[in-house]
Amino acid sequence: MRSRITFNIILTLLVVFSAFAKAYSQQPSSKKFKVVIDAGHGGDDPGKPSKAGFKESDIALKIALALGEQLEKNTDIDVVYTRKTDVFIKLRERGAIANREKADLFISIHCNAHNTQAYGTETYVLGLHANEENLRVAKAENSVIFMEEDYEVAYADYNINSPESIIGLNLMQEEFLDQSILIASMVQDNFTKDLGRKNRSVKQAGFVVLHQTTMPSILIETGFITNVTEGKYLASKKGQQEIAGAIAKSVRSYKDKVFVFEPTAFKEQSVAVEKKQIFNNVTFKVQLAASSKKLEPKSYNFKKLPEISRVRDGNLYKYYSGSTNDYNAIRKRLAEAKSKGYTSAFIVSFDDNNIKIPLDKVLN
Ligand SMILES: [Zn+2]
């Protein structure tokens, strides 16, 4: 009797183990989500001055390394650093690294400074400077190009002495603006909710480093090293771990939201995709781009993708392909859009009144 029980236990363990091994081996071999982490400044460029004695380049590096360490624990995330030590990296090389790596997300980490005791966190996406204060921050971060011996040639397009004139978005970058704003908002939310940091909000300004990348990109001012209390927090191991933790959490939720539907994963499920998966009272579309430019919603403007529509949303026009209540059909369209080069396209869902509803809500 006893040996029979033992046998049953072993059998059960075997079954569980083999099921587990099978599930593990069936993990899709699809591309991992790749994050490039950019610790601002370094080497001869210490970053912003702080009378309180805190060094931006050191703090940024420590937060960047802590962030990478936390993200690397996720088997579906790849981490690449622009620097892992105290070295000088040209501003244009930082974006170039992310582009060469074909990263899915670029995160540049910095600390703020001010001649008052201002404090709090702000996260930037690329855009026209909305006001003097944003311009001031961008100017300070951009000024590092003057340390590069050939900056006049290398940055000929950027007249950073009159930055308000320099950096507009091209269509390519506008395509990523929505996603950049999404991850930026998540970072600011987690800083506030989890860590109680003061929320100075998501902002737009013309950062050269963000202008050079071709993927969703943000620049985080993690706090003010000129503020005595905040500087101390940022310089502490606890502070760095916490800031890194909030960013890592944001990256994971962002990845889950945006990155789930990629062509290889789609291919592996192609059998299921043959079937219809109808959601009543829901319209799915694939968002291809968001732009301030008004283009004709014609197939020829969007690499011959069919069923193009255009919707005005604030200052932007959003361009979609497809319009269906069949979720599998829209997944097919997404794969097609991605294969035609809209690598950051994603599915959006609308209710009967044409109001956007979160996709995860629809699917659950
Ligand atoms: Zn900086």
Percent of the chain at pLDDT > 70 equals: 82
Which structure tokens are listed for 150? 């050939």
**344 CA distance to ligand 1 centroid (A)?**
27
pLDDT surpasses 60 at 9: no
**318 CA distance to ligand 1 centroid (A)?**
32
Q: Do 270 and 241 fall into the same domain?
A: no
Q: Do 254 and 283 fall into the same domain?
A: no
Range of the domain at 319: 263-363
Give the pLDDT score at 264.
42
How many C-beta atoms lie closer than 10 Å to residue 307's C-beta?
A: 15
Q: Do 44 and 182 fall into the same domain?
A: yes
Q: Do 124 and 241 fall into the same domain?
A: yes
**188 CA distance to ligand 1 centroid (A)?**
18
**140 CA distance to ligand 1 centroid (A)?**
7
Whole-angstrom distance, CA of residue 217 vs CA of residue 348: 21
Whole-angstrom distance, CA of residue 174 vs CA of residue 16: 48
Is 4 inside any structural domain?
Answer: no
**Which residue is associated with the tokens 């959006």?**
348
**329 CA distance to ligand 1 centroid (A)?**
45
Which of 201, 229, 258 is the last residue in one of the domains? 258
CA dihedral 17, 23, 24, 26 (to 10 degrees): 140
CATH number, position 201: 3.40.630.40
Q: Do 196 and 51 fall into the same domain?
A: yes
**DSSP-assigned beta bridge partners for residue 283:** 350
State the alpha helices, DSSP H only, in the chain: 2-25, 56-72, 91-100, 132-142, 151-154, 171-174, 177-195, 208-211, 228-235, 237-258, 263-268, 270-274, 327-339, 359-363
pLDDT digits (tens, 9 = 90+) for 230-282: 999 999 999 999 999 999 999 999 998 887 544 444 444 444 456 788 998 99
Which structure tokens are listed for 34? 């790749």
Is 11 inside any structural domain?
Answer: no
Q: Do 253 and 335 fall into the same domain?
A: no
Give the pLDDT score at 30.
58
Structural domain total, the chain: 2
**120 CA distance to ligand 1 centroid (A)?**
15
Which of 228, 258, 288 is the last residue in one of the domains? 258
**47 CA distance to ligand 1 centroid (A)?**
5
Q: Do 323 and 351 fall into the same domain?
A: yes
Which of 258, 291, 308 is the last residue in one of the domains? 258
**347 CA distance to ligand 1 centroid (A)?**
35
